[in-house]
Amino acid sequence: MLKRKQYQFWFCAGSQDLYGDECLEHVAAHARQIVDELNASGKMPFEIVWKPTLITNELIRKTFNEANMDENCAGIITWMHTFSPAKSWILGLQELRKPLLHLHTQFNQEIPYDAIDMDFMNENQSAHGDREFGHIFSRLNKERKIVVGYYRDEDVQDKIASWMSTAIGVIESSHIRVMRVADNMRNVAVTDGDKVEAQIRFGWEVDAYPVNEIVAAVDAVSKGDIDALMDEYRSRYQFVLEGRDEKEFMEHLAVQAGIEIGFERFLEAKNYQAIVTHFGDLGGLKQLPGLAIQRLMEKGYGFGAEGDWKTAAMVRLMKIMTEGKKDAKGTSFLEDYTYNLVPGKEGILQAHMLEVCPTIADGAITVREKPLSMGNREDPARLVFTAKEGFGIATSLIDLGDRFRLIINEVDCKKTEKPMPNLPVATSFWTPRPNLKVGAEAWILAGGAHHTAFSYDLTTEQMCDWADYMGIEAVVIDADTQIRQFKNELRFNSLYFRK
């Protein structure tokens, strides 16, 4: 089973020793109160830990290097309650390797009109101190997230919480290891790419294994373990025989149970959190892994079909960023298949041969067994469902040769107008923003793939912030996208990212 670390975020107020001990005591007490209130808000997905006020070059450098070394520290939140000369931060910031959120807030919400004097102004000058602090980031050209507003405001707390998930994505990216059990599909361009550059940029390790090594792990699964998993399938899914002999149906299903257990054991033993397969390179496997891969995705593994390791890593990344999210609606690998071009009802039918993650399912999930239209194996068992309605983001990470580009399209997921009884795969149906024509044109102009990593539970802002931290290009296709502007953006970006 995939494990998650108990991450924490450090809260560091900045100041200086010019204001005397009493003022510094207030700074520390106020910072502690903000930390306590944020932790008690129920909105923070991770604990915030108060750290002593940073007032000197030495202490800032020491604290940030401790943050670098601390496995549980996923990022730093800073706030300049008073003024903190920013030259003191240069060395520490140059050495900091964890994500940083600059919380531009204030301890008091309202100016205390009757009581305000110069002592109050000296103590409460984040409007002043946070500008000095922000300047040095811009000067150093370092990435940071800025959140502005009163710390008790719900939207400010939501933004901090949302950034925490992004920071986890940054930290966890370098722990993603993708297992390839086959190479990329022959002659396909968009699913391929530079794995060395991916490791330099994102920290991803992408390794290949001969398919029959993992087949040996599948063959080693005991009948008892398969039977136990079959009981779980019976309790969770409705089997649709569609005229098949029941015994034969269950034998086919048991093959997927063996693949699920064998694959998971292999992934665990070798410490991989994402996997790619290829329908044309199955070695001794009796079926294309369908239901097995769907359930591994549900458990948090990344997946990409036809050797698509970039999408596999992105699915894993997005699952990490949404793990534990309250009321999460799901994250999956998907593929653009076919259009509905009827005016007013435009959309793209999303599916794959089999491998769609059941976390995005809406309602009952059935198990069906049908022939694949390609390959030479048994009819594989797969989970069939339709996806939830609502807002989501579809992302595609592509390799342009000299850089990676992340394409993010905001989409509105809908139900298809009618059921599709003859289509034995899980599906989603969405209309890209701003509409199908502009959305698809922009996607194609940007070079986006037919495979996507999709989530209902992440925002464009989070993915753009993640891309910024990784130092890669991100382009957004949303309600405001206009083709001429978008084309120019691609041109401008090609200059900015030129090596």
Q: How far is the CB of 277 from Mn ion (least distance, A)?
A: 11
Q: Which stretch binds Mn ion (CB under 5 A): 39-47, 142-150, 249-257, 305-313?
A: 305-313
* C-beta of 99 vs 380, nearer to Mn ion: 380
Whose CA is closest to 324, among 439, 199, 457?
457
Total number of residues that touch Mn ion (CB under 5 A): 3
With respect to Mn ion, which residue has the nearer C-beta, 291 or 305? 305
Query: Which of the residues 9 through 68 are near Mn ion (CB under 5 A)?
Result: none
**At closest approach, how far in Å is the CB of 190 from Mn ion?**
10
Structure tokens at 91: 């060395």
Q: Identify whether the C-beta of residue 183 lies closer than 8 Å to the C-beta of residue 307.
A: yes
**Contacts of 493 by beta carbon, 8 Å cutoff, 6+ apart:** 405, 473, 475
**Closest approach of Mn ion to the CB of residue 306, in Å:** 5
Helix (H) / strand (E) containing 100: strand 100-104
Q: Which of residues 357-376 bind Mn ion (CB under 5 A)?
A: none
Query: Which of the stretches 223-231, 302-310, 417-425, 480-488 binds Mn ion when contact is defined by CB under 5 A?
Result: 302-310
**Helices vs strands, H then E, count in the chain:** 15, 19
- The answer to whether the beta carbons of residues 61 and 67 sit under 8 Å apart is no
Tokens of 157: 């707390």
Q: How far apart are CA 151 and CA 79, in angstroms?
A: 11
Nearer to Mn ion, 260 or 306 (CB): 306
* Binding region for Mn ion (CB under 5 A) out of 32-40, 154-162, 298-306, 341-349: 298-306
For Mn ion, which stretch binds (CB under 5 A), given 297-305, 320-328, 391-399, 476-484?
Answer: 297-305
Closest to Mn ion by CB, 173 vs 427, is 427
Q: 366-369 and 381-384 as β-strands: parallel, antiparallel, unpaired?
A: antiparallel
| Other Cβ atoms closer than 10 A to 421 | 7
CB nearer to Mn ion: pick between 126 and 184: 184
Distance CA 198, CA 181 (A): 18
Cross-strand partners of 339: 348
**Separation of first and last alpha carbons in the chain:** 41
For position 313 contacting Mn ion by CB under 5 A, the verdict is: no
Q: State which residue, 156 or 351, has the beta carbon closest to Mn ion.
A: 351
Residue whose CB is less far from Mn ion, 249 or 303: 303
Select from 174-182, 246-254, 332-340, 457-465 the region that touches Mn ion (CB under 5 A): 332-340
* Stretch in the footprint of Mn ion (CB under 5 A) among 63-71, 87-95, 136-144, 301-309: 301-309
Q: Name the DSSP letter for residue 86.
A: G
> Shortest approach of Mn ion to residue 304 CB, angstroms?
8
Q: How far is the CB of 387 from Mn ion (least distance, A)?
A: 17
Residue 291 C-beta: closest distance to Mn ion, Å: 17
Q: What are phi and psi of 428, to 5 degrees?
A: -135, 160
Pick from 73, 176, 282, 305 the residue near Mn ion by CB under 5 A: 305
Tokens linked to 209: 């294994």
How far is it, in rounded angstroms, from Cα 18 to Cα 51? Answer: 20
Q: Interface residues with Mn ion (CB under 5 A)?
A: 305-306, 335
